Every structure is written in C-alpha cells, then in structure tokens.
Chain A
Amino acid sequence: MSILANKDTRVVIQGGAAGVNAARRMAEFCYLIKRPLNVEAFVYPPDAGKTNEIPYGSGLIAIPVYKTVAEATKAHSAINTSLVYIGADRAMKGAMEALDDSHIKVVSMITEGVPEKDAKLLGAHARKLGKVFNGPSSIGIISAGACRLGVIGGAFDNLVLSKLYREGSFGVITKSGGLSNEIIWICSQFADGITTAIGIGGDAYPGTDYVSYLEMFENDPQTKAVVIVGEMGGDLEERAAEWYGAKKRRVKLIGVVSGFCQESLPKGMKFGHAGAKEGMKGEGSARSKSDALKKAGAIVPATFGALGPAIKETYQELLKSGQVKEVVEPAVLPKLPKTVEEAMKADEVIVAPLIRTTISDDRGDEPCYDGYPASELINKGYEIPHVIGLLWDKRLISKQEAEIIKRIMMLSADHGPCVSGAYATILAACAGIGMSQAVAAGLIMIGPRFGGAVTDAGRWFKYAVDNKMNVDEFLAYMKKNVGPVPGIGHRVKSLRNPDKRVKELVGYVKSLNIKTPCLDFALQVEQVTAVKKDNLILNVDGTMAAVLVDLGFPVDSLNGFFILSRTIGLIGHWVDQNRQDSRLIRLFDYLVNYAAPKRREVPPLK
C-alpha cells in the first residue's frame, strides 16, 4: 500500500522540456518495477497534435501532446493525476485547469517562484473540491514498487540502491527535494525502505501540509512510521506536532528540523528555502519546532547525522514487535539498457561502422588532416595547398608543388560575369536566393562544356603517356573512341589570341626544371591540332590537368581544383550583387529568337 500515488495512477504532464525529462525518469522507474508507463498525455499548446518520444527499456513510446487538460482527459479517461511543469507566471492557470477537471484528483506542481497568493488559492480550491494540490516547488512523489511522479528518486542506479522497486514501512515527507532522496536512501540502509515519499516544496505556504499527509499515512496500514524533515519558518512542524500529540497514533513519527544555526547568525540574516523565515519572538525557530515535536512524543534526533540510527532503532522495534517482517529481496532486477556508447565503453558490443574515413578526424580538441593537427600545420608554415594535398591525395606536398597549386587556383578563381557559372550565380543572387544555393547554381554549370574538362583531359593525356602513344596515335584513338580531345579548344581564344593564363602556367612550370611528361605531350598535341584549326589550342583546363597529373594527383580529384578555385569567384559575385541590392533579372524579348509556331486556334478537345 501507499498513499497518493499507486499502481492505478495515470498521469498528464502539463509543460514542455522539463515535463518530458520528468516523463523519461518516470519511464525508468516503470521499467524497473515492470509496469507500463504511467504517463498517458502531455498538455503543451505549442506542441499540440505532436507526440513526445519517451524511452522505455530499449524502445520508444510516443505520448500525445494536447492543447488543454480537458482534451487530454477526454482521450485518456484513466488519467487521475496532473504534474505541473509550467513557468511561474502561468502555473496557477494551468493547475486550476487541472483541478477543475473531474478526472483529476491529485495535482503536483514542480514550478518554483510561484507567488504565495497563487499557491494559497490553489490549495484552498483543491480543499474545496476534496482534491490534493501538492507543491509548488515539489520535487515529486514516489511510492516504492508502485508509482513515481516527477524526478524524485534520482538516477536509475539510485532507484535500485534505495530499494525503490519494492515497498518498505516508512513514509517520508520533506520540504527539500535533495533531502527527500537522502532520507529515502537512509530508510533503505537503516530500515526496510519506504512506502511513499512526498516532497511538499520549500515555499512558505505549501498547498498541502504535513498534517494532511500524516493523516493519510495513519490510514495506510503498510506505513509503520513517518519521517519528516522540517525547516525553520512557518508553523507546519508545530501543526504536525500538534496532530501527533492530539491522540494515540498508530504510526511512529520521527522528525528533524534545520535552522539551529540561525541562533548564532547576525540578526536579520536568513537563508535556505523561501519558507525558511522566522517570525517574531522566536516562533517558527528550529528550536521551538524541535521542542514541539519532542513534547508531542515524536522521536527527534539531535542532528541530521543521528537520523539514520534513530530510524534503525525504530525499525528494530517494529521487527521485534512483529509489525514488520524481514524483507526478501528479489533475486533479479531489470537493468536499464545501456546506450550504444555506454555499451561500447564497457566492451560489451561490436558495432559495424556505417562509413569509413581515411583522411580526417575531429574527435579530439582540433581537427587532424591525415593525422596532422591543423594548428601544428599552421605553426610550421604550411598553407592551404598543403591541406588540399593532405585531404585530396593524403600526402604532404612539397613547397614547390604547393606553389604550383597556389598559382593554378589564383589563375582559375574567376573569369568575369559572363561565363556560365558566374552568370548562373548572379541570376540566382538577383532573384534573392541565399549564398549557398546561388553558389551551388553556379557550380552546377561546371560540366563537360564549362570548366569540367580537367578530369577528362588529365585522364586521356595520362592514358597516352602511360601507353607511350605518339600524337597521331593518340588523336586517332580519341577520334575513334572518345570524340573531341578534352582540354583542347577554346570558345574565344586562339593561336593568334592566346590564353595568357596558359602561357603563364606553362612558363612557370617549365622554369622549374622538373619532369612534366603529360604537359610536354599536351603541348605536342596542341601543335598538331592548332594547325588544323586556329582555336584548337591547349586550354586552361587541359594545362591544369596535365600539370596536376605530372604532380601525381589522382585523376578523379582534378575537377576539384577548378571547382574549388571558381567557388572563390562565385562567392564574390553573390556578395557583389547583394551589396548592390541588384534587381531581379528578366531576359529582354529581343534577346530571344521566338521560333515557336505563330499563335493559332486551339481545336475542340476530342
């Protein structure tokens, strides 16, 4: 048996993230005691119509979210309890809504900082309706082996250590949330554990006080003794003492009160919970409360530390008189399934990886490229081309190679607004499209006709060199099997109007006195093709391709050099258009050759 919360308790949680967290904790407890989840619904207008996913064991349970308490109880008629996790400014309205719902008998409020008047109104309203309003500032209510409301009881391990999976004989009532857990733990170590523990909240005027709960415990045959943890301030402990002393009670009462330190503090200095404030002439002081409890016949240990032994003594007496029996613990308890991470840490599972990477790792305090920490590369003078070398070709390239890559990038960064890529980006920018999409629009243009011939050019020049072909053999092979030679030919440049970028790059690479078989071969090809047609020259794609193959970059990476370099220009165009706040572009009709049929009559539909 227990009070307030039992196996029939079904819960609606009013509130957002904090309420969902509480539901998770409650699900852990339900799993421990092998009962279905006792949370049936949430009420949270912003998420109405959605569901909250609550882990239960290794599965997930979807709990619906409603706009109002009435909607929730209409759909889930077993709901009889509400937990309020709403902010202080709206908490009263929410709790009133729950109290006024005929299904709901118990409302417990976790919200802190609720105005005193609101708490009093809620308490009075609940009493009028014959219901229970617990809190504000309540950590929750837990009945061992039966029901958990809120996060009271703490983490899963603590639930097990505190033997909350099965009933004991001690009731617990505390103002403090943290101490409720401490007392539950003490009851489980010095005695047989608890029946129900209630956090009533540390406010000055909790909705329900010790006396109401003591009365409930008195009527619960399983509860043999009740531990109350009091504080200076107010008169709740005095009222409890009065109740206990009024007549012979079945339950034993054990009480401690904090706040003796007040006697030796500077006048006016108060601390602890909101309710911890002493009235005039020492009323509400720790001493007066403690004395009142003693006088009423309660067991009052001198300090908090003496509480454990006092509980133990009470338990031994109960055992001796046969009122309680030694508890036999269950042999096996459910274990909370571990997360994959926890299980891996404990060497309990093997997981087949989903992806494999060989280039970088960001799990430490900084990224490592092919094993080299980024900051160390920076501090030792390495530059962007070296990072490209590490991430694209997994090797630390030389200073000379880096210089070539840098020049390739500088030469390819932009080619004015008229080329396909830049034009597409500008068109998108003028249509108000964001940077990443507009730049992507430009990048989409890179293909066989624009900028995307680097990889193919590299592939075929390399093919020719690897197979020791001469130019004639190569051109014949290409004509038969491939088509026009990638990397050869330009839309506007020709022998007479050479591409300066090509001249520059070839000149620099040649000046280095390194072996460049691909470049040499490409230049031989140009000599033949340019004779046939003036504009069949080695273009910038072909030049880059030949040089990069000579440097040893994999063929598949070659388009990347153009894409990367040109991205610099595309970003520039997007920023440029935005800076100017350019207008939407619409093509003029005179730029279109309307070759469609003339306007004509639509025939009747057959």
Chain B
Amino acid sequence: MAKVLEGPGMGLMKKWGIHVPHYVVVTSADELSKLGQANDWMKSSKLVAKAHEALGSRFKLGLVKVGLDLKDAVAATKEMIGRQVGSIKVTQVIVSEMVPHKEEYYCAVKSTREGSEVLVANCGGIEVESNWERVKRLCLEVGETPSPDALEKLSKDAGFTGALTKKMADFAGKMFTCFDNEDAQYLEVNPVVVREGDGELVALDAVTLLDGDAKFRHPDWNFQFAAEFGRAYSKDEVEVMAVDSKIKGSVKFIEIPGGDTAMLPAGGGASVYYSDAVVARGGKLANYAEYSGDPPDWAVEVLTEKVCSLPGIKNIIVGGAIANFTDVKKTFGGIINGFRKAKGGGKLKGVKIWVRRGGPREKEGLDAMRALKDEGFDINVFDRNTPLTDIVDKALQK
C-alpha cells in the first residue's frame, strides 16, 4: 500500500477524465509568483494553499489557508515552506483554485477480496462521516466493469435526482476506471462538488492509495510515495530501506521512540508475535525490525548496527522461528559482525541479548552466538526446544 499526495493523486484523476480544480505544486514562494504571472486562473480565482506533505490535521496546524488572492497565496506559501511539524519539514505547497459551489457529495472506490466497491453518497465533507448509512455501494467482481445502468441505479439509491443522477453515475464510472487502470487500492473524493457556471462535478480533494507492487507496469508513476506514519522516515530507516531495495530477501526497520526493548527477529510473521509478546509482558518496543528470505549477511549486519544504535535500550530480542531456507549461520554471521562493531563503538553497555532460532545450519549459528560470551557480550542463546517467544518472557522478567 502506497499513499500518494494530493498533487500526483489529482494528476491521475485528471488523466482519466475526472474534473479537478486548477492546481500547482510549488517548492518556494518565488516559484508561485512566477507561475501566477503565467496562469490566468491564479489571478481570476480565489485560491487555497495547503502544505503538500503527509500530515494529518493540517487545518488545525494552520497549514491550510483558504479564500486567498495570489498575493495572499504567495505570503502563505512563504510562511509554510520550511515549517517543522514533528519530524516532517514542509517542503511543498499545493495551491489550487477555489471552486464556488453549494452542494457537497462523496464518492470512493475501494479494494475488496472479491474485487472492488464503488461508494457514493449525496452528502459530503464532514457530514458523510456522521451519516455513514447514507453511503450506498456497488460491489464488483475482479475483472468486472460496472454498467452504466448499475451506476445510475447506485446514484439513484444514494438519493440523486434529475440531471445529477447521470452526472454522479458518470463521475463514479470515471473513478472506477481510474481505480482499475492505475492499480489503486483506495480512491476517495470528498467532497465532490457541482461547479457553479457549467454545473460539472469536480473532485475537490483526493485520497489516493496505490499498489506499490504494481509500479513495474506504471512508468508514469514518477512521484514519491508518502510515508504512512504521519512522520518522515529517519536517517537510519532510510538507510535500511536503501539496503532492502538492493537485496534478495528483505530487511525492515522502523524506530519507535521511547522504548527500551530492541527487536531483531527473523520473519514477517514471527516478528509481530515477538512484538506482541513484548507488549503483553508490559515491555516498551524501541523498534520494529525483521529480516527474511535468506538476505545476505552484510544486509543483516547493517540492520544490526541500526538496532544497536537505538537509544536507551536494555534488551535485544534476536528471535526467530525455524527457518525454511534462511541460512542461520550466515545471517547470524551478519548479526555477530554488527554486534562486534557496535561494541567496538562503545555501544551495548549493559544491554542483554536474547537469541532463539532454528533452521538450516542452526547448530553452527547458535554455537557462534554462544561464543560471543567469551568476548564479553551479555548474551543468552536458546534453540528450537525453547518455545518461540519464551526469550521475551525471560528478558522482561523482573
């Protein structure tokens, strides 16, 4: 799942014939002034300026300004660019025309197990959230395209009447086409508005989630995916991601500030059970990490160094199930090198290490871990006969 910011999201909708307001994404107030000279709509319409970042509650943070003329918009842009909110620094501002309207509606397409659902409501904005029963849906099998009749029925069911019935049906149809062709997982427009003047339906705000795995068949996805965290990725997280993109298998790393139990487990499934065990024992996670698919030892070494660098940690959980084909000796070799580097750099003082693992060459791998005791590591090593998450119980025992 990959979140896309409003700018590129609106771009994709426009590509599939959905009306969107005029908009520009700028990185400086200067750029906006220049664009203002070149584009008539910026001079003739009232404008909205929003910080173009993966931030929640932008309105509350003062990062959305409405009813601006070009001069105000330039001033607002100047004010927003460079503002620091938590770990995110505002680097882009999206400036769009305000579309005068009276009514607001809702339209979305979401992925389901069977295929997808087209959602329509004849209310929009915050009203739709408190009146969720007014949202009507059309379920579609994968590979199925909604017929004009089905869309019109959906539109009618949602309470649209007269000329608007067909307009909303058309709008929903285009939303589906965009969803289907762009490998989207979720598309939401709230609100959809009737533009005064030509009476066309226009998408005022877009939430776009795409299937990152389908990037290979979309050469025009030239935009960055946004972090879904509501925060920017840290330097160490970005470094691990860079390694992950280069290797066979995978390494993952997410920091959780304030925790004292560091995680270095194997496997996308087991890693979550380990995290659950820490929480169940009243521990505080310092991170999430995972390596799987027999990654090269150097990649696991990089991951280990990042885990050892987490501040204030007391325990490191090197857990893992019985691997199918990940070579335990090789991957543990990477972890051991990482531990040695960390210790050489003055880290791991007073940190207890807990190991449990099975799989190809488990004996050699576990023996190598045990030997770290002789190098002065505080390490406790268990084999497959100790149940998966028991090392967490031992580590967090008071």
A, B in one complex: yes
A residues near B (Cβ < 8 Å) are 21, 25, 88-89, 112-118, 120-121, 123-124, 139, 151-155, 158, 161, 174-182, 185-186, 202, 204-205, 209, 229, 231-232, 234-235, 256, 258-261, 263-274, 276-277, 286, 302-305, 308
B387 touches A265 (CB 8 A): no
Closest to B279 in A: A261
Known A-B contacts: A176-B268, A271-B254. Give 10 more (CB < 8 A).
Answer: A89-B217, A178-B268, A178-B292, A202-B269, A261-B278, A273-B268, A277-B1, A304-B273, A305-B387, A305-B388
Closest to A175 in B: B269
One of A117, A124, A154, A175 near B214 (C-beta < 8 A): A117
One of B273, B288, B321, B384 near A271 (C-beta < 8 A): B288
B229 touches A154 (CB 8 A): no
Q: Does B309 lie at the interface of the complex (its beta carbon under 8 Å from any beta carbon of A)? A: no
Contact segment of B34-42, B190-198, B322-330: B322-330
A177 touches B272 (CB 8 A): no
Closest to A259 in B: B272
Q: Does B223 lie at the interface of the complex (its beta carbon under 8 Å from any beta carbon of A)? A: no
Determine the distance from Cα of A379 to Cα of B276 in the docked complex, in whole angstroms.
Answer: 57
List residues 109-151 of chain B with CB under 8 A from any CB of chain A. Answer: 111, 113-115, 141-143
Given A261-B278, A286-B276, A177:B324 Cβ within 8 A = yes
One of B213, B228, B269, B275 near A178 (C-beta < 8 A): B269
List residues 358-394 of chain B with CB under 8 A from any CB of chain A. Answer: 358-361, 384, 387-390, 393
B183 touches A115 (CB 8 A): yes
List residues 309-359 of chain B with CB under 8 A from any CB of chain A. Answer: 320-326, 358-359
User: How many residue pairs, one in A and one in B, have C-beta atoms under 8 Å apart?
Assistant: 182
Residues of B within 8 A of A123 (CB): 142
Determine the distance from Cα of A252 to Cα of B324 in the docked complex, in whole angstroms.
Answer: 27
Residues of A within 8 A of B266 (CB): 178
Given A202-B268, A261-B276, A305-B393, A117:B142 Cβ within 8 A = yes
A391: shortest Cβ distance to chain B, in Å? 35
One of A118, A151, A258 near B272 (C-beta < 8 A): A258
Residues of A within 8 A of B285 (CB): 261, 265
Closest to A263 in B: B279
One of A205, A231, A304 near B389 (C-beta < 8 A): A304
B290 touches A271 (CB 8 A): yes
A154 touches B322 (CB 8 A): yes
List residues 257-304 of chain B with CB under 8 A from any CB of chain A. Answer: 266-273, 275-280, 285, 288, 290, 292-293
B191: shortest Cβ distance to chain A, in Å? 19
Interface centre among A186, A209, A263, A302 (most CB of B within 10 A): A186
Residues of B within 8 A of A186 (CB): 387
One of A124, A155, A263 near B143 (C-beta < 8 A): A124
B173: shortest Cβ distance to chain A, in Å? 18
Given A178-B267, A258-B273, A304:B214 Cβ within 8 A = no
A182 touches B113 (CB 8 A): no
Q: Identify the 5 closest CB pairs spanning chains A and B, nearest first.
A: A176-B269, A178-B267, A182-B321, A115-B214, A120-B142
Determine the distance from Cα of A261 to Cα of B265 in the docked complex, in whole angstroms.
Answer: 15
One of A152, A174, A179, A268 near B228 (C-beta < 8 A): A268
Q: Does B59 lie at the interface of the complex (its beta carbon under 8 Å from any beta carbon of A)? A: no
One of A113, A177, A204, A235 near B267 (C-beta < 8 A): A177
A271 touches B252 (CB 8 A): yes
Q: Can you pick out 30 interface pairs between chain A and chain B where the beta carbons lie within 8 Å of each other?
A: A25-B325, A88-B213, A115-B183, A115-B211, A115-B214, A116-B111, A116-B213, A152-B324, A154-B324, A174-B269, A175-B269, A178-B267, A178-B322, A179-B321, A181-B322, A182-B358, A182-B388, A186-B387, A202-B268, A205-B113, A259-B276, A260-B280, A261-B279, A261-B285, A269-B256, A272-B268, A273-B268, A274-B213, A276-B268, A303-B280
One of A25, A175, A261 near B275 (C-beta < 8 A): A261
Residues of A within 8 A of B211 (CB): 115-117
A178 touches B279 (CB 8 A): no
A158: shortest Cβ distance to chain B, in Å? 6
Residues of A within 8 A of B180 (CB): 117
Residues of A within 8 A of B325 (CB): 21, 25, 151, 154
A304 touches B267 (CB 8 A): no
Q: Does B230 lie at the interface of the complex (its beta carbon under 8 Å from any beta carbon of A)? A: yes
B323 touches A124 (CB 8 A): no
Closest to A267 in B: B230
A305 touches B277 (CB 8 A): yes
One of A115, A185, A269, A273 near B358 (C-beta < 8 A): A185
Closest to B386 in A: A305
Closest to B384 in A: A185
Determine the distance from Cα of A139 to Cα of B143 in the docked complex, in whole angstroms.
Answer: 27
Residues of B within 8 A of A259 (CB): 272, 276
Q: Does B208 lie at the interface of the complex (its beta carbon under 8 Å from any beta carbon of A)? A: no
Q: Does B77 lie at the interface of the complex (its beta carbon under 8 Å from any beta carbon of A)? A: no
Q: Does B185 lie at the interface of the complex (its beta carbon under 8 Å from any beta carbon of A)? A: yes
Interface centre among B143, B267, B324 (most CB of A within 10 A): B324
Determine the distance from Cα of A512 to Cα of B196 in the docked complex, in whole angstroms.
Answer: 110
Determine the distance from Cα of A265 to Cα of B285 in the docked complex, in whole angstroms.
Answer: 9
A304 touches B252 (CB 8 A): no
Residues of B within 8 A of A205 (CB): 111, 113
B272 touches A272 (CB 8 A): yes
One of B115, B143, B269, B288 near A231 (C-beta < 8 A): B269
Given A266-B256, A305-B390, A116:B185 Cβ within 8 A = yes
Determine the distance from Cα of A116 to Cα of B209 in the docked complex, in whole angstroms.
Answer: 13
B213 touches A185 (CB 8 A): no
Determine the distance from Cα of A220 to Cα of B211 in the docked complex, in whole angstroms.
Answer: 37
Residues of A within 8 A of B185 (CB): 116
Determine the distance from Cα of A186 to Cα of B114 in the docked complex, in whole angstroms.
Answer: 34
B180: shortest Cβ distance to chain A, in Å? 8
Determine the distance from Cα of A277 to Cα of B2 in the docked complex, in whole angstroms.
Answer: 12
Residues of A within 8 A of B384 (CB): 161, 185
Determine the distance from Cα of A256 to Cα of B141 in the docked complex, in whole angstroms.
Answer: 30
B280 touches A179 (CB 8 A): no
B276 touches A158 (CB 8 A): no
Closest to A152 in B: B324
A179 touches B142 (CB 8 A): no
A500: shortest Cβ distance to chain B, in Å? 57
Residues of B within 8 A of A271 (CB): 252, 254, 271-272, 275, 288, 290
